Amino acid sequence: MAVNSEVIDLAKIYRDQFTVFNNVTYMNSCSQGALADRVRNSFETYLKTMELNGSAWGDWAGHQETVRALVAKVLNADSGEIAITTSASAGVSSLASALDFTGKRNKIVTTENEFPTIGQIWHAQERRGAKVVHIQSQPDLTVDTAALINAIDDETLIVSVTMVCFRNGAMTDLDPIIEAAHKKGALVLVDAYQGTGAVPIDMKALKADFLVGGVLKYMLGAPGVGFMFARSSTTSQLIPVTTGWFAARDIFAMDIHSYDPAKDARRFESGTPPIPALYPAASGMEMLLEIGVPQIYEYVLPLHEELREGIESLGGKVVTPAEKAKHGAMLAVASTDEHAHVAALEGEKVITSSRDGNIRISPHFYNNREDVKKVLEAFAKHKSFLRN
C-alpha cells in the first residue's frame, strides 16, 4: 500500500534523532517510546543542577509546572485541571480515595479491557462498600457500548473505561458512554495511557470528568511521570484522603495540624515529585507538540494498514479491529507462543512485545516503510508462530 503523498514523512525528518534505529527495528512504543537524543540530553540537564548547586529546588519545582503546562497543551486542557503523579495508578488511587461508597451510589461500571491497575484499584474499594460490575467485550475486544450503557443506573457512582485496549489496540467510542453516564449522574474516568501521544485528545470536546495517562510510551518520556486530568466544573467537590505535602494548597506552609488541600487538580498529587523523570517528560512532550499529535496519527495509519495486509498475506490473524475509528497505534497478531515469538523476532533485531496471546506491533512517527518491511520479513521467517 502506498503512503498518502499528502502526509508529511515524519520519519524522514526526525528518525536520525533516535539512536536505537542504528541497532534494531524498534516497534514497541506501546511499552516504551524510543529515546530521542534531546530526551537523553535532558537527563544531563538534571544532573548538572545537582553538580552545580547540589540542591536546586527552584529549578525542580519549576520543572514540575513546565510538565503540567505541557500535559495541558497536549490535552487542550487548563493547567489547573492537571495533576502530575508518579504513575496512572497513583492518580486513580487518589481519585478512588475521594469517592464515598457508603451511600446509594456505590457502583463502579467498568469493562474487561482495562489494564490490571484499574481493575485492581476498583476491586480494592469493595472493602469500602463499592460494587464493581464488569461488562463483557465484543469478540474483537471492542467495548460493548450498548451493554455498558445499559448497566449504568441510578446507583452508578463512576464509569471507568479505557480509551485504547492494552491487549490488542481496540479503541473505545467514548462519547456515547460519557453522555449516558452523565445523564444518570455518574462520573467518568478514561484511561488514555495507550492513546496519549498517538491519538488526538481534546478535553474541551471529550467530556470525561477524569482522564489518566503517562509519558513513557507514545509521549517519548521516561518511567516515573503520570498525570490525571480532573475537570474543574464537575469534580471540585471530591477531596482525596490519599495525599501528601505537594497536594496542599500552600506547599511550603509546612502545617502538620490540618489538611488544607489545593483547590485545583494538584489536590490529587502526593509527596515529592519524581524530579529526575520530569526532565525527559518535558523534553519528550516538547518534541511531541513540535510535530503535532494529529499529524502523527495520520502518518501512522498507512503503516498500520501495510502491516495488517502483510501479516494477513502470510496467513496470520490480526486481532485488532480494522476500522480507523476502532484502533489506536497498536496492531496485535495472534501467536501460538507469544513469549517465544517475541524472542524469535528479537533475534532478527525486531523489537515487539506481547499480551494475551498476541504479538503487539506499535509504530510511531519515527518508523517508516523500511521498518514495516523488516517486521514482515521477520514474521515470514518465523511463520510457524502465526495462529489463525
- The CATH number of the domain holding residue 310 is 3.90.1150.10
Residue 217 shares a structural domain with residue 356: no
Q: How many domains does the chain have?
A: 2
One DSSP character per residue, 20-64 reads: GGGT-EE-BTTT----BHHHHHHHHHHHHHHHHHS--HHHHHHHH
Q: Which of 288, 308, 325 is the last residue of a domain?
A: 288
- How would you class 328 by CB atoms within 10 Å of its CB: exposed for 0-12, middle for 13-18, buried for 19 or more? buried
Residue 87 shares a structural domain with residue 159: yes
Where residue 161 sits, what CATH number does that domain have?
3.40.640.10
Look at residue 344 in the predicted model and tell me its pLDDT.
98
For residue 59, being part of any structural domain is answered with: yes
Look at residue 58 in the predicted model and tell me its pLDDT.
79
pLDDT, tens digit (0-9, with 9 covering 90-100), for 283-331: 999 999 999 999 999 999 999 999 999 999 999 999 999 999 999 999 9
Residue 223 shares a structural domain with residue 324: no
pLDDT category of residue 388 using cuts at 50, 70 and 90: confident
CA angle, residues 4, 7, 13, in degrees to nearest 5? 125
Look at residue 57 in the predicted model and tell me its pLDDT.
79
pLDDT, tens digit (0-9, with 9 covering 90-100), for 82-115: 999 999 999 999 999 999 999 999 999 999 999 9
Cell of 165: 485496549
For residue 177, being part of any structural domain is answered with: yes
Question: DSSP state, 157?
Answer: E
Q: Of 5-19, 154-168, 260-274, 285-299, which range is least confident? A: 5-19
Look at residue 5 in the predicted model and tell me its pLDDT.
46
Q: Which of 236, 260, 288 is the last residue of a domain?
A: 288
Q: Which of 288, 305, 340 is the last residue of a domain?
A: 288
Q: Which domain holds residue 303?
A: 10-36+293-385
Residue 318 shares a structural domain with residue 207: no
Spatial contact of 34 and 364, defined as CB atoms under 8 Å apart: yes
Look at residue 319 in the predicted model and tell me its pLDDT.
96
Residue 26 shares a structural domain with residue 51: no
Residue 64 shares a structural domain with residue 190: yes
Residue 195 shares a structural domain with residue 317: no
Residue 220 shares a structural domain with residue 114: yes
For residue 346, being part of any structural domain is answered with: yes
pLDDT, tens digit (0-9, with 9 covering 90-100), for 114-137: 999 999 999 999 999 999 999 999
User: Given the DSSP bridges, would you call strands 156-162 and 131-135 parallel, antiparallel or unpaired?
Assistant: unpaired
pLDDT category of residue 1 using cuts at 50, 70 and 90: very low
